[in-house]
Amino acid sequence: MQPFGQFAWMVDLDSAGKVTRVRQVLDTLDFNRIVPGRWTVDDVEREFGPPAMIEHVGSWNGPILTYRWRDIDRSDMFYWVYVDAAGVVQRAHPGMEFINAPADKN
């Protein structure tokens, strides 16, 4: 479902190649496993798949990996992973995705 979907499925196999577990990993619990200063861009992409977008802003010297996901309340969300020039994650956090939000009626 990546890079533009809101789901990424992790399939765990045993030594014989038999499926032992299947789980959706774009969620708060799994995103909280990211350890700034230790995880690399390769770790992030191995665990979550390719990001929906790779962004750049003037206030950050490196790529920002942007994942789309749904939180427990089914709200459309972004999860941003800030990577430095050496490819090491320096920070990561969620934020609301307002692209698909209904128009404000007030």
pLDDT digits (tens, 9 = 90+) for 85-103: 999 999 999 998 876 555 5
Band (pLDDT 50/70/90 cuts) for residue 4 is confident
Q: What are the chain's domains?
A: 9-96 (3.30.1450)
Pairing of strands 64-70, 76-83: antiparallel
End-to-end Cα distance, the chain: 35
Span 23-66, pLDDT tens digits: 999 999 999 999 999 999 999 999 999 999 999 999 999 999 99
Cα(92)–Cα(100) distance, integer angstroms: 22
Residue 106: pLDDT band (50, 70, 90) is: low
pLDDT at 104 over 70: no
Contact by Cβ (8 Å): 94, 71: yes
Amino acid code (one letter) for 98: F
Cβ partners under 8 Å of residue 56, min gap 6: 63, 64
Model's pTM, two decimal places?
0.84
How distant, in Å, are the alpha carbons of 8, 14, 71 from that of 20? 17, 6, 25
